[in-house]
């Protein structure tokens, strides 16, 4: 049946892009509907991404510390053990609490939540196959596509979500595997690889390129890889997996050098395929309506999140830019501001990326390699956490801050931090860059003592004046 009231905006997808856009749209006074088919709000991020992975990273870190580092601090626990069921339950409770919280926010802000799978059937019409059965047509002035992404499959290595898993299966393995092969040394591979390594799995990461996380500063990622190796992860670089099959309880993999050469066999109890994600647009009706794609299979948009059809917008993982929850949220807010006639805008130069391993690696702005490739004259400053009093006091001093600024104007262009809590430390740099600050501005800002943040200040001093104080 047709819905009686025409909506100002219908958002397809209830992930961080879609649900944040919906709340903001309603706050701006727009009649707003959000359609979500998975049965819970929060998208990939809350249900099978950011949140459950961070829960397991935290629990596994506590176990690792209890086993390896507590005694040194005078805390004696005989033979700490993992209760995998309890660990899973803690994660699930965190997830369900948060997804229900969004339903509450929808009610509070008067967003209509329609449960089902949406399909665009015209520039101003969305059909929903309702979760409870039947279907419904919603008329709307504007549509926002916020359907997110799915795992990129690897030909020859079929995912069964039991033995050969994507990140989704990796969050709910029946038991901690004795051996695990991770294909792809990116964000998912290193985070989930760390989880299982800490819990006792022998983890081997197979990476196509000769370096891990391609988007990180090369100096930082070299230090990062050495640290992960010290923690027990092993890496097979410049290697590709050509075939994988489940044989009894094991997975047999055929690997070969990326550039070709003799192949080799490896066996594991579980294999994680984490070679990237791709936009999820199946069954959305984009072809029929004539929405254009870009050359990488994403929805093509202009600077105002508008597709080639003026009433249809797209945000988050389905469009260009980093596939990150906070980026999707910024897209969502800016898109509905534009729909409401305001000046929505996102500054992608100040979107941070954070890898939540231990230590964490956080990045904002350009890397030194990118600066060189662009022919920019830059200066850099560095500071090691070995010289930071707080990091030394708590004996968690692996890592560094590296800052990149314009050689002439001193304007901050990028900051790269590897340390405990780097994901929190990076934000003063994001704010500084948003305000167009120089490294000297950070260098002259008083930082509390003793804090890890003082390492950021010291790196700024090194960038602005050539030498830090404490190193
Ligand atoms: P999604 O979150 O994918 O949401 C899209 C929603 O749309 C889904 O719920 C889907 O069911 C729904 N949908 C799709 N099609 C339809 C349809 N036709 N009708 C109705 N509903 C539909 N990012 C970070 O920033 N930090 C992290 O720590 C982090 N960790 C991650 C860990 C893992 C294991 C994974 C897989 C991803 C992680 N990400 C992280 C990435 C992050 O999850 C995504 O960038 C983010 O969720 C994108 O938001 P989105 O709203 O664009 O899409
Ligand atoms: P990724 O893009 O981060 O890393 C994929 C890695 O796999 C790269 O190093 C790539 O070189 C390698 N690779 C590609 N093809 C390969 C092949 N055939 N064999 C071996 N290696 C291969 O992708 P990932 O880890 O799957 O994550 C997807 C996205 O999800 C991330 O890019 C990120 O946007 C998001 N994410 C963000 C997190 C965070 O912010 N902390 C955590 C997890 C995911």
Report whether residue 14 contacts ligand 1, using a CB cutoff of 6 Å: yes
449 is annotated as an active-site residue: yes
Catalytic residue chosen out of the listed positions 73, 427, 449, 470: 449
Q: Does 186 sit in the ligand 1 pocket, CB within 6 Å?
A: no
Residue 240 Cα: closest atom of ligand 2: 19
Q: Is 99 labelled a binding residue?
A: no
How many angstroms does the Cα of residue 322 sit away from the middle of ligand 2? 11
User: Has 313 been labeled as part of a binding site?
Assistant: no
Q: Which residue, judged by its Cα, is nearest atom 14 of ligand 1?
A: 147
Q: By the 8 A CB rule, do 301 and 131 touch? A: no
Indicate whether this complex's ipTM tops 0.95.
yes
CB 13 less than 6 A from any atom of ligand 1? yes
Which single residue is written with the structure tokens 């991404």?
A: 49
Q: Is the CB of 52 under 6 A from ligand 1?
A: no
Residue 316 near ligand 1, beta carbon < 6 Å = yes
Tokens representing residue 378 in the block:
């830059």
Answer whether 2's CB lies under 8 Å from 139's CB.
yes
The alpha carbon of 150 and the centre of ligand 1 are apart by a number of angstroms equal to: 8
Residuewise pLDDT in 10s, the chain (471 residues):
455 589 999 999 999 999 999 999 999 999 999 999 999 999 999 999 999 999 999 999 999 999 999 999 999 999 999 999 999 999 999 999 999 999 999 999 999 999 999 999 999 999 999 999 999 999 999 999 999 999 999 999 999 999 999 999 999 999 999 999 999 999 999 999 999 999 999 999 999 999 999 999 999 999 999 999 999 999 999 999 999 999 999 999 999 999 999 999 999 999 999 999 999 999 999 999 999 999 999 999 999 999 999 999 999 999 999 999 999 999 999 999 999 999 999 999 999 999 999 999 999 999 999 999 999 999 999 999 999 999 999 999 999 999 999 999 999 999 999 999 999 999 999 999 999 999 999 999 999 999 999 999 999 999 999 999 999
């Amino acid at each position: 049946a047709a819905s009686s009231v025409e909506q100002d905006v219908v958002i397809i997808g209830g992930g961080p892009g879609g649900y944040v856009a919906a709340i903001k749209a309603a706050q701006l006074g727009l009649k707003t509907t959000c359609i979500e088919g998975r049965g819970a709000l929060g998208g990939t991020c809350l249900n099978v991404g950011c949140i459950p992975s961070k829960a397991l990273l935290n629990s596994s870190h506590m176990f690792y510390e209890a086993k390896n580092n507590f005694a040194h601090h005078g805390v004696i626990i005989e033979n700490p053990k993992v209760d995998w069921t309890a660990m899973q339950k803690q994660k699930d409770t965190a997830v369900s609490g948060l997804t229900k919280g969004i339903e509450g926010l929808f009610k509070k802000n008067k967003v209509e939540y329609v449960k089902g799978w949406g399909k665009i059937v015209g520039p101003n019409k969305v059909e929903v196959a309702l979760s409870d059965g039947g279907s419904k047509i919603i008329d709307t002035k504007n549509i926002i596509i916020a359907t997110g992404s799915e795992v990129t499959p690897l030909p020859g290595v079929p995912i069964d979500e039991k033995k050969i898993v994507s990140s989704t299966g990796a969050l709910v393995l029946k038991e901690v595997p004795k051996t695990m092969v991770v294909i792809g040394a990116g964000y998912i591979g290193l985070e989930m690889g760390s989880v299982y390594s800490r819990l006792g799995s022998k983890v081997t990461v197979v990476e196509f390129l000769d370096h891990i996380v391609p988007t990180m500063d090369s100096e930082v990622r070299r230090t990062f890889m050495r640290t992960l190796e010290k923690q027990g992860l092993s890496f097979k670089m410049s290697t590709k997996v050509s075939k994988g099959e489940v044989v009894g309880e094991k997975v047999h993999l055929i690997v070969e050098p990326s550039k070709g050469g003799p192949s080799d066999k490896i066996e594991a109890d579980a294999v994680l395929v984490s070679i990237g994600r791709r936009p999820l647009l199946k069954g959305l009706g984009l072809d029929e309506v004539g929405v254009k794609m870009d050359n990488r299979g994403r929805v093509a948009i202009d600077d105002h999140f508008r597709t080639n059809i003026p009433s249809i917008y797209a945000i988050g993982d389905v469009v260009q830019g980093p596939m990150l929850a906070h980026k999707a949220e910024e897209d969502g807010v800016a898109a509905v501001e534009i729909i409401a006639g305001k000046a929505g805008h996102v500054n992608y130069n100040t979107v941070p990326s954070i890898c939540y391993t231990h230590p964490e690696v956080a990045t904002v702005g350009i890397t030194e390699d990118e600066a060189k490739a662009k022919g920019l004259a830059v200066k850099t400053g560095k500071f090691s956490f070995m010289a930071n009093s707080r990091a030394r006091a708590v004996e968690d001093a692996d890592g560094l801050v590296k800052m990149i600024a314009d050689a002439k104007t001193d304007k901050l262009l990028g900051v790269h931090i590897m340390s405990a809590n780097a994901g929190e430390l990076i934000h003063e740099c994001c704010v500084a860059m948003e305000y167009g600050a120089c490294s000297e501005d950070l260098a002259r800002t008083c930082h509390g003592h003793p804090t890890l943040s003082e390492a950021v200040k010291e790196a700024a001093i090194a960038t602005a004046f050539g030498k830090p104080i404490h190193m």
